[in-house]
Amino acid sequence: MASGIKDKVAIIGMGCTRFGERWNDGPEELMVEAFQECIQDAGIEKKEIQAAWLGTCFDEVMVGKSALSASMALRLPNISVSRVENFCASGTEAFRGAVYAVASGACDIALAIGVEKLKDIGYGGLPEFSTAIGTTNALWFPNLTAPGGFAMLATGYAAKYGLDIMDVKEAMTHVSVKSHANGARNAKAHLRKPVTPDQVKNAPTIAFPLGLFDCCGVSDGSACAIVTTPEIARSLGKNDVISVKALQLALSNGTEIAHKWDGAHFVTTTKASKAAYEEAGIRNPREEISMMEVHDCFSITELVTMEDLHISERGKAPKDIMDGFYDLDGKLPCQPDGGLKCFGHPIGASGLRMLYEMYNQLLGRAGDRQIDDPKFGLTHNLGGFPMMNVCSIAIIGKHGA
């Protein structure tokens, strides 16, 4: 019987660049910037890293294939480096590779780094992906984009619960207003201006019913983590050891797009979160999770995710959101760092960026966004589209908690 990952691996260092339109920095500069912060935080030497994982999504427009980009940019000492890609879960996949390597005993210290350089393509939004969906899908997939794919979820959600789409939009609006308020407190965030509900509601439509402020920032950035065993962490003088409590991944198998699905929830998140709570020994996530960084690529994604994480009851996320339950001063703060919405979304880095915020909060380093005495921090990524996607969930906390 598998015992799970809980408390087997500790994070001893993390780094994250400022996210944004980093016109004058390429992926190499971004990786080095994140790495230097990370290794300084870890207090180790580069030669002690025995294996590394690189997470990127749009490799064709950025670093190219393989993990050579990371190995060369960081001048790693000819160790194993693997590039992993799983849509928006790519960063968390890199983390999973490093964590599992340590947990298996294959190595003592491992690095996970994620990076995405999105602002080299000449237009807004994510890079066009018609060549990246597979040869057969390229023959029939609709003319979709990321916002359009997720926008559909709002119509499905409203229909399922008999709501007016504009009432759903009201809650979606609060999701974005809250994240902008949090992002304004974060020097590393891409978007740092608070916005009003009217600004959000009156913004130009990107994909009905999503307006500009329902969509996250498209940014350049990098984030990384160095992991080891809790024993080695202590031997390095780490008093507050932050350890991994759960790491789960779930992928669609075609049921949503081709069989039965209500069009109002994420099948993968519903399953992965349950598995993650079991792995972490959490019985009541609404009470026990202290804070979250979830995949708010679009406001509707965050709204629906609150239910799939078993924190808001089905159909009740809009009420919790409007009640301020997920605000920074609410019962369960969500996106304290501004989220994808305002921190930005360099895809391969995002999972690690979320962990960076949870890690800093757990260590009391979050400045004027600091949450009082957090115990468990949850991160969540959702890559692909509501009807076929990759979901990753990580939970970290103080060792032994």
Length reported for the chain: 401
Residues between 377 and 396 that touch other proteins (CB under 8 A): 387
Binding mask 191-220 for other proteins (x = CB under 8 A): -------------xxxxxxx----------
Question: Based on CB atoms, which residue is closest to other proteins, 76 or 152?
Answer: 152
Q: Which stretch binds other proteins (CB under 8 A): 41-49, 65-73, 169-177, 254-262?
A: 254-262
C-beta neighbour count of 401 within 10 angstroms: 17
Question: Based on CB atoms, which residue is closest to other proteins, 185 or 265?
Answer: 265
Q: Could you say which of 61, 79, 103, 121 contacts other proteins (CB under 8 A)?
A: 121
Q: Could you say which of 196, 255, 284, 323 contacts other proteins (CB under 8 A)?
A: 255
Q: Could you say which of 75, 78, 140, 329 contacts other proteins (CB under 8 A)?
A: 140
116 in Cβ contact with 58 (< 8 Å): yes
- Among 224, 183, 194, which Cα is nearest to 369's? 183
383 in Cβ contact with 39 (< 8 Å): no
Could you write out the DSSP letters of every residue in 102-128?
Answer: HHHTS-S-EEEEEEE--TTSSSSSSPP
Residues between 158 and 177 that touch other proteins (CB under 8 A): 158-159
Question: Based on CB atoms, which residue is closest to other proteins, 66 or 137?
Answer: 137
Could you write out the DSSP letters of every residue in 324-352?
Answer: TTTSTTSSS-B-TT-HHHHH---HHHHHH
Q: Which stretch binds other proteins (CB under 8 A): 68-76, 98-106, 127-135, 224-232?
A: 127-135
Q: Which stretch binds other proteins (CB under 8 A): 132-140, 179-187, 272-280, 347-355?
A: 132-140
| Beta-sheet pairing, 376-385 with 80-84 | unpaired
Q: Does 153 bind other proteins (CB under 8 A)?
A: yes
* DSSP SS3 for 181: helix
Q: Does 400 bind other proteins (CB under 8 A)?
A: no
Minimum Å distance from CB 58 to other proteins?
A: 13
3-class secondary structure per residue, 124-179: CCCCCCCCCCCCCHHHCCCCCCHHHHHHHHHHHHHHHCCCCHHHHHHHHHHHHHHH
**Site residue total, other proteins (CB under 8 A):** 42
Minimum Å distance from CB 243 to other proteins?
A: 34
Q: Could you say which of 145, 199, 270, 370 contacts other proteins (CB under 8 A)?
A: 145
Question: Based on CB atoms, which residue is closest to other proteins, 105 or 142?
Answer: 142
Going from the C-alpha of 8 to that of each of 93, 100, 188, 394, the distances in angstroms are: 17, 9, 30, 14
Calpha distance 159→154 (Å, rounded)? 8
Q: Does 135 bind other proteins (CB under 8 A)?
A: yes
Sequence-ordered list of residues with C-beta below 8 angstroms from that of 277, at least 6 positions apart, any chain: 246, 283, 285, 310, 395
231 in Cβ contact with 212 (< 8 Å): no
Residues marked as catalytic: 88, 345
Provide the binding-site residues for other proteins, judged by CB under 8 A: 121-123, 125, 128, 130-131, 135-136, 138-145, 147-149, 151-153, 155-156, 158-159, 204-210, 253-255, 257-259, 263, 387
